[in-house]
Structure 1
Amino acid sequence: MPTTNAAIASAEAHCAHTYHPLPVVVASADGAWMTDVEGRRYLDMLAGYSALNFGHGNRRLIDAAKAQLERVTLTSRAFHHDRFADFCTQLAELCGMDMVLPMNTGAEAVETAVKTARKWGYKVKGVRDGRAKIVVAGNNFHGRTTTVISFSTDHEARADFGPYTPGFEIVPYGDLTALDAAVTPNTVAVLLEPIQGEAGVLVPPAGYLPAVRELTRERNVLFIADEIQSGLGRTGKTFACEHEGVVPDMYVLGKALGGGVVPVSAVVSSAEVLGVYRPGEHGSTFGGNPLACAVALEVIAMLRTGEFQQRATELGDHLHHQLGLLVGGGAVTAVRGRGLWAGIDIDPSHGTGRQISEKLMDRGVLVKDTHGSTIRIAPPLVISKEDLDWGLQQLGEVLAGTS
């Protein structure tokens, strides 16, 4: 097995530099812990950006995957397979909706949601062909495909990749007045993250999501909730929208739906919305494959117990209480989030988010920075309170300047 330095050097030489990972090389993982190639253990406080809500190597998910691996892994959608109907039915039921369009990655699901909203706008709402508009929020993160970066305000994600896809209006996140002004007769959808993850775990003002729901319903516009990071237990509810009593017209799901085992994503909506498609208009070779469905069915079964949502609520309350104690001490200027998910703004005089992340790595805790001075915490929902407290202790000591 290569050393850390050798593995990193090889990756730098042969992999396009689209990421700036922390200098740790993981060789194995279990629960909330990862072990590197040299045997050092690290507490995972990022959980694959919420893809690992149920922890590394979750036995139920691994067993489901193993059992399916012995049977059939891929048929393509040219044929039916015996896990597909159950997956679509059970995911639709979990979401309280009618139909599912399965894909693989989160970005694919967002692209699918965009296509779906436009198709619905032309076929159902009656917008003239080529005129459909979708309203999105500034500081969003919905992926990095060409269409998605066309409505991003992140310079790094967007610069030098034009020409950009038209048809989007960007308004400030949480600003209902701006959103109302942006909606026109040609608007087919409003696409929002109920909590903006990449932006630093930004929670919208209380009442914002219900107001968006009311506005979109009154104006005959689809409300699309991108719950790729926020959904499936992360915030203490199955969906973050539930905290405000909101049910959107469409959920966009991914990350934790595959249990950290395989990439699985989906668009879930009503029969009126997803019923606009006809064969040949959209698809994916791997979307809804037997292996993906088997793992996702186990994820759905686990979420139905409510234990992970409850755990995220209880540990999340503890997390935010402990983080709140750090505010005002000089190093932390603000803490945001919900459930087992937090964004922590660091005073620049104490270092950048990257520098704090590296110091935590040296102490055996893995987090990730965003937007310069912010770090994100999103541990697996299976983390123990003792491990969570140990990780927070390391954070406190780093911020206090303890060597």
Structure 2
Amino acid sequence: MISKILIANRGEIALRVLRACKELGIATVAVHSTADSDAMHVRLADESVCIGPPPSRDSYLNIHQIVAACEITGADAVHPGYGFLSENAKFADILDAHGITFIGPTADHIRIMGDKITAKQTAMDLGIPVVPGSAGEVLNDADALKTAREIGYPVLIKATAGGGGRGMKVAKTEADLLEAFNTARSEAANAFGNDSVYMEKYLGKPRHIEIQVFGDGAGNAIHLGERDCSLQRRHQKIWEEANSPALNVEQRMKIGQICADAMKKLKYRGAGTVEFLYENGEFYFIEMNTRLQVEHPITEAITGIDLVHEQIRVASGGGLSVTQEEIEFSGHAIECRINAEDARTFVPSPGTITHFHAPGGLGVRVDSGAYQGYRIPPYYDSLIGKLIVHGRTRVECMMRLRRVLDEFVIDGIKTTLPLFQDLVTNPDIANGDYDIHWLEDYLAKTSV
């Protein structure tokens, strides 16, 4: 059994993992940069270790320092949270070589799903539906022109090692293609040190639907329903729902079972998310994230299953705590990502929080490491908290969300709370009538 977990992350996810560890009676180690010495998870952990200066490359991405912190404190496991080293196969391999448990999938599975071309081919082999596209990397201008003609315009060029919309370009006509192709390669090289790209059919107005899966590494796997993550800005999720307003019970159980069966064949271990574009009743695989997702709390809300507890259980060799038949879905949940950003311009707003009051009441959860007097450093992601609301129906959930957004007080910095106060009263959102382009189109037409 795992006795001490080092949390290789920061912010709200570090605090989230720490809480799960405490509930399981497992000792905790917080690592932190010099900029995060007053972070809440550092204050609450059993032990803490400073692993470097503020830049991520010198602290949260410094594998040597994290392994050294494990050895100094006697931590026998590492939970990577999301981001940073959570999908770094080399990190998983190094921990394994040091006899330290990585709370996540195997390094091989991280590698397979970390390369978009390999992931797509693996998904096809496992029976998961995919977007029509190139068989592999698109190598040059001539190859790009030939592939696009075969697929049909518009096409989407994507970095094989991509994420967050970087190295991703749309070409609507042949005249656009070569510029989009070469720009995508250049962006990919700058962002990931890898300029390889591939090509897919561009879908006009799809929704972004993802399936939460869990495997025990021995051929048993389950799904925990879907999340709708279609409200995005620049490919970054802002508002997520479970279940999706676009799917019925039959559709969600069918695609969920396809994903669970695929994870059984793969002998996948731990938490994972299979992501799709959904249009005209069809699902098209886009990628798999081999980690805990930012939006995991809404799945917890509708299933009652603690996903971090489950991660630790599986990593300890305890297997899954539930079977597919035992999972019950209840009600509706919505998550709003609260960022330290100007709600109009989305410019980051680091600084000191002068007043902080989290909303409460039935069906309300706030995951945040922020507190009154906390100084948000300028070095990291601007996410400062997540507001999760659960109700018996989507209508009840929306009304509850409207209420709690008015209760949430964060002063001293600018946040995206005004954006959500605007969205929660919008008729399209109320009707669940939106796609992955809706928010950017809306922001282009209106001001918050």
TM-score band by shorter chain is 0.3 to 0.5
The structure in which a higher percent of residues are strand is: 2
With the length of structure 2 as denominator, give the TM-score of the two structures: 0.30
With the length of structure 1 as denominator, give the TM-score of the two structures: 0.33
Relative contact order higher in (CA < 8 Å, ≥ 6 apart): 1
